[in-house]
Amino acid sequence: MQCPHCGAEVGVFSREMRRWGRIKACPSCGLAVRVGFSPLIIGLGILGAGVLGWFKADLALPHLWFSVALGLYMGGVIYFAYRLRKAE
């Protein structure tokens, strides 16, 4: 993720991003940023999960492995949907 103020790279698991709340401070410039998600990426991820669920029988995956694969897939979707915006 990049800070919307200074453009510095901010890690998802950095100390500041692990704090509670939606308003956080950029570790580089110290200005307030708001954490949010991209609705487009979340929507496409849910659509993809639905398609995977629809074709589960055709994939011939046992239930446990399908659940693990779906959990990893949705974790990746949420990771890529994570965004930083300027706090008002």
Would you tell me how many other CB atoms lie within 10 Å of the CB of residue 11? Answer: 11
Give the per-residue pLDDT at 40: 92
Asked if residue 70 belongs to a domain, the reply is yes
Asked if residue 3 belongs to a domain, the reply is no
Domain limits for position 36: 23-86
Asked if residue 42 belongs to a domain, the reply is yes
How far apart are the two ends of the chain, measured CA to CA in Å?
A: 19
Asked if residue 17 belongs to a domain, the reply is no
Q: Which two tokens stand for residue 78?
A: 């949420």
Report pTM: 0.66
Give the per-residue pLDDT at 57: 65
AA letter at 20? W
Asked if residue 32 belongs to a domain, the reply is yes
pLDDT (tens digit per residue) in 11-66: 888 888 888 888 888 888 889 999 888 899 999 999 988 888 777 766 666 777 77
The average pLDDT across 59-81 equals: 82
Q: Answer for the pair 17, 10: CB distance below 8 angstroms, yes or no.
A: yes
Sign of CA dihedral 48, 39, 68, 54: negative
Asked if residue 82 belongs to a domain, the reply is yes
